[in-house]
Amino acid sequence: MANPTLLILAGDGIGPEVMDQVVRIIDWYGEKRSLAFDVEHDLVGGAAYDKHGTPLHDDTMAKALAADAVLLGAVGGPKYDALDFSVKPERGLLRLRKEMDLFSNLRPAQCFDALADFSSLKKDIVAGLDIMIVRELTSGVYFGEPRGIFEEGNERVGINTQRYTESEIDRVARSAFELARRRNNKVCSMEKANVMESGILWREVVQKVHDEDYPDVELTHMYADNGAMQLVRAPKQFDVIVTDNLFGDILSDCAAMLTGSLGMLPSASLGAPNADGRPKALYEPVHGSAPDIAGQGKANPIACILSFAMALRYSFDQGEEAARLEQAVEQVLADGARTADLMGPEDGTPISTTEMGDAILAALDASL
> What residue ranges bind ligand IPM (CB under 6 A)?
90, 93, 249
Four-residue CA torsion sign, 270, 14, 8, 143 = positive
Q: Least distance to Mg ion from the beta carbon of 94, Å? A: 12
93 binds, among ligand IPM, Mg ion, none (CB under 5 to 8 A by kind): ligand IPM
Rg, Å, the chain Cα set? 20
Minimum CB separation from Mg ion for residue 20, in Å? 23
Q: Which stretch binds Mg ion (CB under 5 A): 97-105, 211-219, 243-251, 256-264?
A: 243-251
Please, where are the H alpha helices in the chain?
Answer: 15-32, 46-52, 58-66, 89-99, 123-126, 166-181, 197-213, 224-233, 245-258, 302-314, 319-334, 353-366
Asked if 124 is an active-site residue, the reply is: no
> Which residue, 90 or 178, has its beta carbon nearer to ligand IPM?
90
- Active-site annotation holds for 253: yes
Check if 50 is active-site: no
DSSP class of 34: S
* Per annotation, catalytic residue among 192, 280, 298, 341: 192
The single residue of 29, 49, 80, 142 carrying the catalytic annotation is 142
Length reported for the chain: 368
Rounded-to-integer distance, Cα 257 and Cα 223, Å: 21
CB of 304 to Mg ion, least distance (A): 15
Q: Measured from the CB atom, is 116 or 303 closer to ligand IPM? A: 303
Nearest to 236 by CA among 259, 262, 206: 259
Closer to ligand IPM at the Cβ: 93 or 242?
Answer: 93
Alpha-carbon torsion, ordered 26, 94, 228, 158, to 10 deg: 160
Measuring CA to CA, which residue among 224, 244, 239, 108 is closest to residue 171? 244
Three-class SS state of 219: strand
Check residue 249 for interaction with Mg ion (CB under 5 A). yes
Specify the residue, 244 or 249, whose C-beta has the smaller distance to ligand IPM.
249
Region of 68-76, 83-91, 175-183, 249-257 interacting with Mg ion (CB under 5 A): 249-257
Instruction: Select the binding partner of residue 12 from ligand IPM, Mg ion, none (C-beta < 5 to 8 A, by kind).
Output: none
Task: Name the site residues for Mg ion (rule: CB under 5 A).
Answer: 249
Catalytic residues: 142, 192, 225, 249, 253
